[in-house]
Amino acid sequence: MIVSKLLSLIHHFKTTIFNIKKMNNLSNKVAVVTGGNSGIGYAAAKELIAQGAQVVITGRNKQSVETAATELGATGIVADQSKIDQIDQLALAVKEKFGKVDVLFLNAGLAAFSPVETATEEHYDALMNLNVKGVYFTVQKFLPILNDGGSIIFNASVNAVLGMPDSSVYAASKAAVLSLNKVLARELATRKIRVNAISPGPVATPLYGKLGLEQEQVDGFGTVLGQRILLNRFGRPEEIANVVRFLASDDASFITGTEITVDGGLTVNAVIY
């Protein structure tokens, strides 16, 4: 009887310790989340912190970054990803404070839409500078302080493959990110750095308001698009954050060069009108 109880207590103790380790599997890790002041980036930063990581968030709006950093318990640094000099300053600031980085989640980006007939050079440059050039050079500038065995995660989009009208430049920018994902996975394999991409479908974030749409338009768009999503709803930022946490952790230690689509089944039912 006593032996049985003792064995039961030992098992319970081991299970508890295991669960604690699983719940904090990013302890002693440093993560950088670009565009971490709202939406998917904010949710990802919150989840990484919950898993024990020290997190740096970035954004272009000083007040928004400071507010988010305070709420999250993160380090906030104002940086515009489309400007190379600010990426340099960001990498230097992170190096001075933390020395090394383990996780780089390249979430910051711009979504803007235009039919090809009326697309302007400004429209093209704004998207490509932030979504491609900025992403590319952020990786480059952080490589010297990214630990061997670290994780790079790109936030791409199902728009890269859907062929949705009016999304030509945005889709091209995200397709470029998916190409980078595969190439950099090969280049950085010698350092055991894992490189992966997440391609979300429609996610309920402040993005749609930033596009200048009224709430009624957003609701209408969501209703129509929701009919094409097999799960009949938009995703939640927290659902994307769960995938970020997985890819950032040792649970994904044998995954690199992969795109994980998180879209509720939209690309299975891909025709959009």
273 is a catalytic site residue = no
Strand partners, 260: 198
Each residue of 236-268: b (16+ CB within 10 Å) or e? ebebbbebbbbbbbeebeeebbebbbbbbebbe
CA dist 169 and 78 (Å) reads: 26
Nearest CA among 257, 88, 262, 260 for reference residue 180 = 257
Q: In this structure, are residues 34 and 108 in contact, taking their beta carbons and an 8 Å threshold?
A: yes
Is the separation of the CB atoms in 228 and 261 below 8 Å?
no
What does DSSP assign to residue 99?
S
Catalytic residue, candidates 42, 124, 136, 170? 170
Which secondary-structure segment (H or E) carries 195?
strand 194-200
CA 6 from centre of chain:
45
List active site positions: 170
